[in-house]
Amino acid sequence: MCLEICKQYKVKKPTGKVGRYESGHARCQTCEIWIDHNGCILKDRTPATLDSLGWTCKCCNFRVRQKPRSLVYKEKLRDKKQSS
C-alpha cells in the first residue's frame, strides 16, 4: 500500500539513448513509480547508494526492480555496462 511519500522522489525519464535502469533508476511496482537511490533504503534501514543492491522503497517498504524483466533488455543492459 502506497503512502504517497514516494512522489517526492519521482524521477524523470533520462534524455537521449540512455535507459532508466542504466541511469540508476528503479521501478516500484506497488507505488507504480520510477525512483532513484534517494527514494530507497536497504534492508538494514541504511540509505541506498547507486552501487548497492537490494533497494527497498521508502514509501511502501517493498523491494524495487533495478533490472529489466525481459531477457532481451537484460542483455542490452549487460552489454552497455560491459562496454563502458
Instruction: Give the pLDDT of residue 80.
Output: 87
- String of DSSP letters for 34-61: EE-GGGEE-TTSPBP-TT----EETTT-
**pLDDT truncated to tens, each residue of the chain (84 aa)?**
889 999 999 999 999 888 999 999 999 999 999 999 999 999 999 999 999 999 999 999 999 999 999 999 999 999 988 887
pTM of the predicted protein model: 0.88
Instruction: Give the pLDDT of residue 60.
Output: 95
- φ/ψ (deg, to 5) at 51: -95, 0
34 and 44 Cβ atoms separated by less than 8 Å:
no
